[in-house]
Structures are given as structure tokens and as C-alpha cells.
Copies of this chain bind each other. A is one copy, B any other.
């Protein structure tokens, strides 16, 4: 059966605890906890008359804007290559339904890829990520697993990568992406590159797989993270150029037309306005990026100081600490798995995180995903203040959260 997505489930659980008056440090959910840019609200308010279904892929206007977004990023794009949908999650589902073959996933990777593959009856081949960054499989292990799968009569068809990555918060370096693409090409895999955190990365070093394999890479993205519009459900997919993708486009539109019809028409207006990237949008995203980076870096420091091993965050508001060093003291509390650790942190310290096992990682590992994007404040005023602050970490409500976490980790480390 299909379980409630772990990320959405912990969000509901933590929200309910908060509503019941408990003091909870919500590090469980990747919602960009920032307010709506006022001009976005105006665009939506001006689009309320848009009640027609319109084309499944989205209007010409929004597809043109979305194509421009990629063209400005060095990937020439025709509006025909673009599809809009109620969230990139829906498009990822549609792609996994439409593309043939087994699905290769980095481990750990975002919770929904494997669940979606199962929903459409596809096999999953998990490959560990390399030590330096998540979001892509380790090239040597990828090669070994593919050759093994083919030898056994398997049919690997799709590789999903996440650049920048959720859950590790890192960005795979261009040479690593190039190596993975070379292997994908050799095995004839279609690559789905989930780039929903693309605009939030803090490193200049970034190459999309679409730059290496233009004919066989689909990029997905949306406005949930860069513009903090998760509740608007706006996602898009960029297919390869027409000569490589006309059948895939037809299949994807087929699935879309039978599952969700189209992105809500008023939301298409919002998407078109944002994807044209007026100055207000660019400035808002830049401010958001600074805030996400400042807070995730501060939380990273708390984990490292407490004794955890953790890759440094590179834009997405996630950390993926490994508390293996705590194992002896945790064993005294009958904690031997990531799940037990996450439950203990929630029950004993009011700290909500997700165990690495939710992302396909080894259940015995004491790793967890920490989302730092819901620390910016409980009110809209606090969130605007955080967004505008040159030193957000020193704001009292943010520093109090850091202190809450520090105390929890210190207590964990003690025998």
C-alpha cells in the first residue's frame, strides 16, 4: 500500500502538537517558511476570472515564460518543451509512469521517488551517494549496479537525480554530474533531474545533467521552494528538445490529462509572472537564499559542535547529520536506529526530524534529515524581519531555536 508521505505526515504531526500548545522545534518539513511576495498576491487576485480548463500542458503564455526561465540559465528552450502542473511532484509521478524500465535512485533521496515508482509498479535500484555530496549515485557503485542489473536481465530505464539535493542539502559538483551522465548515456537511461532547489544554491559551481545529455534529460522544478509557494502547488517540467521527446511529451500529457487535467488557471498566471523574473522576484529569491543559507549554516555548526558528522549546506535548507559518534550513549537509552533516534528527539526534546531510513538510507544508521526552513518565525512579521535582517541568526526567536537544539544534542551526548 502507499503510505502517507513521511515528510507531509511529520508536518501534520508537528503542527498538531503545536496547536495543542507544545513547544516543538519543527525541523521535519521542507516548507520554505516565508511570506508571499505582495506582487504575487496581486497577480493571483487579478486572475480570479480564469475559470476555463485550458490546455493540459499549460497556456502558451506560461510555457513561454517557463521556457525563458531555462533559456536565461543557458539551456535554450522552446515553449513546446514545457509542461506546467499542480506541483512538480505530480510531474515526477507522471514521468515515472510514462518512462519505461526500472528506476535508479540515489540512496538517500527524497521520500516520494521510490513511493511513486512503487505506485506505478516499477522496480527501484538504489545506489548509495558518494561521500562528498548527495543527489547523485556514487559513479563506481552506479556502474557496478547497472552492469549487474543488466546481467540479470533487468531493464534499468530511468535515473533520478536531485540537484541541489534534498535530503543532504548539498550540490553535486560538475565533474561528478558529468561522470554520472556518461554512465547514464552508456546505459541508455533517461535522466530526471529534480532541480526544484536550483535557485537557492549558494555555490556557483553548478551544471545540470541537461547540459551534458541534452537529448535524454528531463528537468523538473517549481515555485514551492524559491518563492515559498508550496501551498500554491505550481510545478513544471522541461522535456528534451522536440526531436528527442515528442513521444514522451504525448505520454506525459496523456497521464496528466487523466490524473489532474491542468494546473489551476489562476495559478498559471502567477507562474507566468514569476517565471518572467521581474526584478522584485530576483530580489526576493536572493534575500530568501541569504536567509536559508545563514540559518542552515548556523544549525550545521550546532550539529558539528555537538560531535555530529555533517556535510556543509550549499543552499537547500537541509542538513543530513550522522550521529554515529553518539551510538554508545544512545545505546544506553535503547536507541539503535535512526527511527528510534528521531522518535526520542521528538518525545524527549520536542525536536522533530526525519530518520534517514525515510529517504531509503540504512535503517540502522543514526542519520537524519534536518530541515531548517521553519525556524524563521511564527508570525508573518517575524518572517519578514528574518528575510530583511543582515544577521537573522541573532534574532531572538531564531537564536532560541538554536539553543533548543543545542540543549537537546548536549543532553543526547551525555551518558
Contacts and interface: CB of A to CB of B under 8 A. Distances in A.
A257 B45 contact: no
Interface stretch (A112-120, A301-309, A350-358): A112-120
Contacts of A116: 258-259
Nearest to A34: B51
A48 B44 CA distance: 7
Interface string A230-274: 111100000000000000001101110111111111110000000
A148 to B, nearest CB: 27
Given A53-B231, A86-B260, A231-B265, A41 B35 contact: no
Interface stretch (A7-15, A63-71, A363-371): A7-15
Contacts of A89: 258-261
Contact of A254 (B4, B258, B380): B4
Interface stretch (A90-98, A327-335, A339-347): A90-98
Contacts of A51: 35-36, 228-232
Contacts of A121: 121
A124 B258 CA distance: 16
B119 A255 contact: yes
A31 interface: yes
A264 B54 contact: no
Given A115-B258, A260-B233, A261-B87, A380 B251 contact: no
Contacts of A50: 231
A116 B120 CA distance: 12
A35 B9 contact: no
A278 interface: no
A40 interface: yes
Given A35-B51, A44-B48, A232-B266, A251 B1 contact: yes
A230 to B, nearest CB: 5
Given A230-B52, A232-B51, A257 B4 contact: yes
A87 B233 CA distance: 13
Contacts of A261: 5, 8, 87, 89, 230, 233
Contacts of A251: 1-2
Contact of A53 (B8, B41, B97, B115): B8
A55 B14 CA distance: 11
Contacts of A54: 231
A258 B112 contact: yes
Nearest to A31: B53
Nearest to A232: B264
